[in-house]
Structure 1
Amino acid sequence: MKYCILTTGLAIAACSMSQPVLAATGNVTFNGTVAAICTLVVTNGSGTMTASPGLQSLSSHNAGGSPGTVTITTTGNVALSVGAPTAITVPPADITPITWSPTYSVAGAHTIAETGASSNLSTPGVDTVTVHLAGTKTGSDIFAAGSYSATVTVTCQ
């Protein structure tokens, strides 16, 4: 009996030593989504409009005028636009109609010639948006002396 017990013990020990340890593995899958976004940073929020020699145009395009600028960073697939001017102030002496026209152009990762219409930015990138504003009079109407101001909102969505 001793012999059988000893043999069985050796067989169990031999079996446990010859078996490799089983390795376990597992996979971890990562997913992510980046939404179509854009950020706007106003880099020059103070454009200047000057009067034309005939006083029928008040514009950032006229001599001495300057545009506003915005830096835009986008993932792409967004629309860029400028809204109609708001917070418009004119001197009390100016009683004739003014037609306001905001425009913009884009340079950087995208190139968009000056426009007032919405533009699609289909690819990612960083751009400088140059914003202009012009007010015009028609017929014999001219701008009166005094301070004028308006706000143009740049939108990216």
Structure 2
Amino acid sequence: MDYALQIDLDLEIKMKSRVSILFGLLSSSFACAAPAYAASESVPFYSEVQDSCTITLDSPGVMAAEGFFKLSSKAGSGGAGRVDIFTTGRGFNVSTAAPSAFVRSPAGVGPTTFSSSYSATGATSLANVPGLVISALGHGYTKLSVDLTAETTGVVFPSGAYQADVTVTCE
């Protein structure tokens, strides 16, 4: 065999060996590489709830005749008005104020005296409290039932539609 050919063959074999060794090293280094680590971070959320008291109307009340001189939500087919009260803290109080006159009534209604009362369930438990009495509310949800009575003296309530508004106060 020619000496130059022998050198070319030796060189070719050495190059193939080096490529094989290099490829082997690279593939083993990838196979043995340390696994990638996942990263995580907490994202904080903050909030500050202010003290508040919210009143929403659930249902209006209905006054029914109790004789000729009295209309009352506690009479026969009458029914209490209901409000939902939501408080985010303690220290809130509730009361009701009866109206001084009808918002709507037929002509001929004489002088009328109004009185309100209320009861509560939920975060607050109360029964038949006179309207102007201030009561502490519990924290959370309170269902307030409000009653209204209208009385006249000497003048019969004439037929027709009546409306009176009781003010519920949370403070």
Counterpart selection for 2:58 from 33, 43, 56? 43
Contact 1:50 1:62 in 2 (8 A): yes
Normalized per residue, which structure has more helix? Answer: 2
Q: Percent identity?
A: 35
TM-score (ref. length: structure 2): 0.64
Match of 1:55 in 2: 68
The amino acid that maps onto 1:97 is P
Compute the displacement of 1:125 (Å). 2.2
- Give the 5 Å matches for 1:1-157: 34-44=49-59, 46-52=60-66, 54-74=67-87, 75-85=89-99, 88-94=103-109, 96-115=110-129, 116=131, 117-121=133-137, 123-138=138-153, 140-157=154-171
Unaligned residue ranges in structure 1 (runs of 5+): 1-30
Match of 2:7 in 1: none
Once residues 92 and 118 of structure 1 are traced to their aligned partners in structure 2, the CA distance between those partners, rounded to angstroms, is 35
TM-score (ref. length: structure 1): 0.69
Deviations along 1:102-143, one digit per CA (max 9) or x if unpaired, are 22111112111112122122x4121100011110123x4321
Number of residue pairs aligned between Structure 1 and Structure 2: 122
Once residues 69 and 143 of structure 1 are traced to their aligned partners in structure 2, the CA distance between those partners, rounded to angstroms, is 25
Normalized per residue, which structure has more strand? Answer: 1
Once residues 89 and 57 of structure 1 are traced to their aligned partners in structure 2, the CA distance between those partners, rounded to angstroms, is 16
The amino acid that maps onto 2:82 is T
Contact 2:54 2:86 in 1 (8 A): yes
Unaligned residue ranges in structure 2 (runs of 5+): 1-45
Once residues 164 and 82 of structure 2 are traced to their aligned partners in structure 1, the CA distance between those partners, rounded to angstroms, is 15
> Radius of gyration: which is bigger?
2
- Taking a change above 3 Å as real, the CA distance of residues 87 and 148 of structure 1, as seen in their structure-2 partners, is closer
